[in-house]
């Protein structure tokens, strides 16, 4: 599709990951010029930084972005490297305007230009359609709302709209545990973990029992670590990724509109049948229901080997980390460990404060107050996508958001 490149102001999409690329493609499909600004040297930077073992927990067919299916050769559960290849191909296939190496540091409303002092001839004759009115009653055209982006290299870019898609996993979050600076052994965020090779023969403590922590613990146990312990603050719900060909994602989509209490009951019944009770191994079933926990921001852990590893003692659940004392890790139950290394799978922050904190569009946890086609109050033309991690699948929701945002921008 030919695109009008003469438009005075493009739509700027900040972030060259799945959310940004999908939105840019949806805008292009509608003939709206979109420019993707990516601070890294290439698209899919976040995916490139994940650990080697990672695969999508959502099926290939439900993880494709609009306009380009994922190849069957990728298999049902797509690997990290294949996701990166797909994103590269996606940008190429849709001929997206991607500018790399540019980081946006601040967004603010663009200054409203002074009215053109020259009267609109048509307005002066009483036949014009201008929207402004001068002191003498002559109508003038006013500029549409716009946004000013401050970026690296002193760039000042003006866009008719801005879509912020910098990602859910933007800034690694490492808790400020008491005594942490005194710990002399390796302590790293899961973002820095790649594979188990450096940890062969070592005693490793993984902190955080979400999907990332659980999978890294299994990876270490299978990759030669001498001992692997998993620090758990709140026991997670564990679900099978697929049962008799029916994926957990299919179930999530099917029940997404049902009442929370009903989904909790259905999940409890399914778990009793499909997932063994690991209480004897230090990993009891959660007290709160699955969907209740999701509403609180805690996704269930999809089993990619954790159940088997816990039952055979390859991964040992322990209490949450309370503090550090030199080479000792103190747990919430008073137990003291001396691991050779600690890997903290403790999540991420959105990292939007510096860029948007002054606009009042973020909540008290630094997350966008709105997402998709809805703009925050007082910020028309500012959109957010890719900042949630829903049970139905992030890539699926990103695809839906892309079409809605493009429609809203095209309409207004």
255 and 397 share a domain? no
Q: Classify residue 114 by burial, with Cβ atoms within 10 Å: 0-12, 13-18, 19+.
A: exposed
The mean pLDDT value for 138-162 works out to: 80
For residues 36 and 152, state if they share a domain.
Answer: yes
Nearest-5° Cα angle at 147, 167 to 387: 15
pLDDT in tens, 189-242: 999 999 999 999 999 999 999 999 999 999 999 999 999 999 999 999 999 988
Residue 4: inside a domain, yes or no? Answer: no
**Is residue 361 in some structural domain?**
yes
Place of tokens 């994926």: 247
For residue 338, tell me if it sits in a domain.
Answer: yes
The verdict on 340 and 391 lying in the same domain is no
* SS3 label, residue 339: coil
Give the residue from 295, 312, 347 where a domain finishes.
347
Q: What is the CATH number of the domain that holds 192?
A: 3.50.50.60
Q: State the sign of the Cα–Cα–Cα–Cα dihedral 85, 86, 91, 93.
A: positive
- Domain span including residue 115: 11-120+130-169+350-411
Domain for residue 1, yes or no?
no
In a shared domain, residues 397 and 339: no
Contacts with 386 (C-beta within 8 Å, 6 or more apart), sequence order? 15, 17, 18, 19, 20, 165, 166, 167, 168, 394, 398, 401
User: Is residue 63 domain-shared with residue 181, that is, in the same domain?
Assistant: no
Please state, for a pLDDT cut of 70, what percent of the chain lies above it. Answer: 90
Domain contains 335: yes
In a domain, 5, yes or no: no
Whole-number pLDDT of residue 120:
46
Q: Say if residue 356 is in the same domain as residue 339.
A: no
Q: What is the mean pLDDT of residues 62-87?
A: 96
pLDDT at position 338: 96
Beta strands 11-14 and 161-164, pairing class: parallel
Please compute the mean of the pLDDT values over residues 80-100 and round it to a whole number: 97
Residue 279 belongs to a domain: yes
Tens of pLDDT, residues 170-191: 889 999 999 999 999 999 999 9
Structural domain tally of the chain? 2
Query: How many residues in total does the chain contain?
Result: 412
d(CA 389, CA 53): 20
Residue where a domain terminates, one of 347, 365, 388 = 347
93, 147: one domain: yes
Give the closest residue to 345 by CA, choosing from 116, 192, 118.
Answer: 192
Rounded CA-CA distance 15/123 in Å is 42
**Same domain assignment for residues 395 and 361:** yes
Query: Which of 332, 347, 362 delimits the end of a domain?
Result: 347
Same domain, 108 and 211: no
> In this structure, are 78 and 67 located in the same domain?
yes
How far apart CA 175 and CA 320 sit, in angstroms, is 12
């Amino acid at each position: 599709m030919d695109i009008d490149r003469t438009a005075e102001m493009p739509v700027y999409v900040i972030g060259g990951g799945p959310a940004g690329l999908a939105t840019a493609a949806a805008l292009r499909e509608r003939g709206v010029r979109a420019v993707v600004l990516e601070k890294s040297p290439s698209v899919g930077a976040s995916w490139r930084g994940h650990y080697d073992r990672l695969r999508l927990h959502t099926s290939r067919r439900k993880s494709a972005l609009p306009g380009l299916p994922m190849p069957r050769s990728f298999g049902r559960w797509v690997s990290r490297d294949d996701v990166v290849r797909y994103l590269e191909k996606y940008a190429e296939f849709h001929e997206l305007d991607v500018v790399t190496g540019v980081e946006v540091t601040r967004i603010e409303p663009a200054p409203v230009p002074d009215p053109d002092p020259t009267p609109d001839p048509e307005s002066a004759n009483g036949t014009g359609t201008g929207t402004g009115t001068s002191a003498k009653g002559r109508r003038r055209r006013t500029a549409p709302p716009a946004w000013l982006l401050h970026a690296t290299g002193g760039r000042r870019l003006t866009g008719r709209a801005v879509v912020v898609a910098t990602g859910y996993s933007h800034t690694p979050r490492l808790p400020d545990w008491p005594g942490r600076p005194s710990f002399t052994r390796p302590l790293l965020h899961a973002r820095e973990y790649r594979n188990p090779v450096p940890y062969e023969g070592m005693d490793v403590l993984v902190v955080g029992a979400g999907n990332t922590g659980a999978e890294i613990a299994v990876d270490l146990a299978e990759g030669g670590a001498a001992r692997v312990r998993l620090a758990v603050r709140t026991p997670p719900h564990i679900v099978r990724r697929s049962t008799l060909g029916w994926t957990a994602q299919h179930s999530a989509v099917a029940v997404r509109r049902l009442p929370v209490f009903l989904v909790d009951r259905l999940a409890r019944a399914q778990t009793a049948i499909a997932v063994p009770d690991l209480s004897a191994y230090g990993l009891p079933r959660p007290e709160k229901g699955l969907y209740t926990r999701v509403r609180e921001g805690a996704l269930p852990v999809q089993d990619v080997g954790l159940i088997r590893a816990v039952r055979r003692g390859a991964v040992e659940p322990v209490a949450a980390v309370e503090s550090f004392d030199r080479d000792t890790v103190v747990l919430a139950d008073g137990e003291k460990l001396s691991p050779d290394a600690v890997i903290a799978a403790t999540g991420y922050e959105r990292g939007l404060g510096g860029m948007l904190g002054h606009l009042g569009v973020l909540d008290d946890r630094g997350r966008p107050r709105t997402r998709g086609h809805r703009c925050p109050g007082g910020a028309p033309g500012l959109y957010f996508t890719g900042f949630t991690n829903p049970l139905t699948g992030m890539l699926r929701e990103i695809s839906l958001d892309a079409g809605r945002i493009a429609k809203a921008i095209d309409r207004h």
